[in-house]
């Protein structure tokens, strides 16, 4: 039987310098194929609002939506670590956050992902004290798309970069089990990874982190419109979805992806 992937596994990967692969998943079939291909972390992302439900952003996704899809992925019975997003406005109070996180964990998640920065510290500590591993999503946070003025690279200027680094350190001290960086310059991601002891996962953050994640539909070439700069279509040179998943996993674990053309 394959040894289950846990937070401790990711810490071991980090300590040995071995990258790990992550991918979004929303149903049992795709989760099974991803697990069989070696993918180590499956994220039930609120990206489902865009790639499954047809919304223009992740904001309309509900907690019930996330619970449903988390249960679907958990039924695949893979060895993968399962991470689930807390959807928009389900973390306005600590009590609300604990309830939402508890429901997702009871649905099969092993880790809860939450968007924000240093202001999340108290919430992260409350979750960690109750046995809930937390991955904090920083940089381009899709739930804040309206406040950010669109899907833009974050941390280009020195002041913003320094603030993100400080926030990441604060969140680690608060009890975060991992940090996810989206759409930040490669140099900043490397600085943050160097400053932390917990695993750092990147999407559009360059190769100098511990793990990589992509939205499944993007890496299968099923993106509507122009794909983001950091995406590679692994289906283009594969004969099947399973082959594409294996190619992605191999490219990540050998540090062939992301390549320079995928970095900011």
What integer best gives the mean pLDDT of the chain?
Answer: 96
> What phi and psi, each to the nearest 5 degrees, are found at residue 191?
-60, -45
The reported pLDDT for the residue numbered 150 is: 72
Q: What is the pLDDT of residues 64-98, one digit of tens each?
A: 999 999 999 999 989 999 999 999 999 999 999 99
Q: What is the pLDDT of residues 119-129, one digit of tens each?
A: 999 999 999 99
Q: What is the pLDDT of residues 243-258, one digit of tens each?
A: 999 999 999 999 999 9
> What phi and psi, each to the nearest 5 degrees, are found at residue 111?
-140, 145
- Report the alpha-carbon distance of residue 200 to residue 93 in Å, rounded: 26
* pLDDT beyond 80 at 102: yes
Collect all residues with Cβ–Cβ distance below 8 Å to 162 and sequence separation of at least 6.
Answer: none
> Mean pLDDT throughout 24-32?
98
Q: What is the pLDDT of residues 158-171, one digit of tens each?
A: 999 999 999 999 99
Dihedral sign, Cα of residue 258, residue 260, residue 262, residue 264:
positive
Q: Which sequence positions are flagged as catalytic?
A: 182
The reported pLDDT for the residue numbered 145 is: 80
pTM: 0.96
Name the pLDDT band for 147 (thresholds 50, 70, 90).
confident
The reported pLDDT for the residue numbered 183 is: 96
- Report the alpha-carbon distance of residue 232 to residue 25 in Å, rounded: 17
What's the Rg (C-alpha) of the chain?
A: 17
Give the Cα-Cα-Cα angle 44, 76, 138 (nearest 5 degrees): 20
Name the pLDDT band for 44 (thresholds 50, 70, 90).
very high
The reported pLDDT for the residue numbered 57 is: 93
Name the pLDDT band for 1 (thresholds 50, 70, 90).
low
Map tokens 């993100």 to a residue. 164
Q: Between residues 152 and 12, which one has the greater pLDDT?
A: 12
Asked if 231 and 223 touch (Cβ cutoff 8 Å), the reply is yes
Q: What's the Cα-to-Cα distance from 15 to each of 131, 139, 155, 219, rounded to whole Å? A: 23, 24, 26, 27
CATH class, range 7-262? alpha beta
**% of the chain exceeding 90 in pLDDT:** 91
């Amino acid at each position: 039987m394959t040894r289950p992937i846990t937070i401790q596994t990711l810490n071991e990967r980090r300590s040995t310098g071995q990258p790990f692969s992550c991918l979004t998943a929303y149903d049992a079939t795709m989760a099974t194929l991803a697990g069989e291909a070696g993918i180590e972390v499956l994220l039930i992302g609120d990206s489902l609002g865009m790639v499954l439900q047809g919304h223009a952003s992740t904001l309309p996704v509900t907690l019930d939506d996330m619970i449903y899809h988390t249960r679907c992925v958990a039924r695949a019975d893979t060895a993968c670590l399962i991470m689930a997003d807390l959807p928009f406005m389900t973390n306005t109070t600590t009590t609300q956050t604990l309830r939402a996180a508890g429901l997702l964990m009871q649905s099969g998640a092993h880790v809860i992902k939450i968007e924000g920065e240093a202001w999340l510290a108290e919430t992260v500590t409350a979750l960690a004290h109750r046995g809930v591993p937390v991955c904090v999503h920083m940089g381009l946070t899709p739930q804040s798309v309206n406040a950010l003025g669109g899907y833009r690279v974050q941390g280009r200027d020195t002041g913003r970069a320094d603030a993100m680094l400080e926030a990441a350190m604060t969140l680690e001290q608060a009890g975060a089990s991992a940090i996810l960086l989206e759409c930040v310059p490669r140099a900043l991601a490397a600085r943050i990874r160097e400053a932390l002891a917990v695993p750092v996962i990147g999407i559009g953050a360059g190769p100098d982190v511990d793990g990589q994640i992509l939205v499944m539909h993007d890496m299968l070439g099923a993106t509507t419109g122009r794909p983001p700069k950091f995406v590679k279509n692994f289906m283009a040179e594969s004969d099947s979805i399973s082959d594409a998943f294996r190619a992605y996993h191999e490219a990540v674990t050998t540090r062939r992806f992301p390549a320079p053309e995928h970095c900011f």
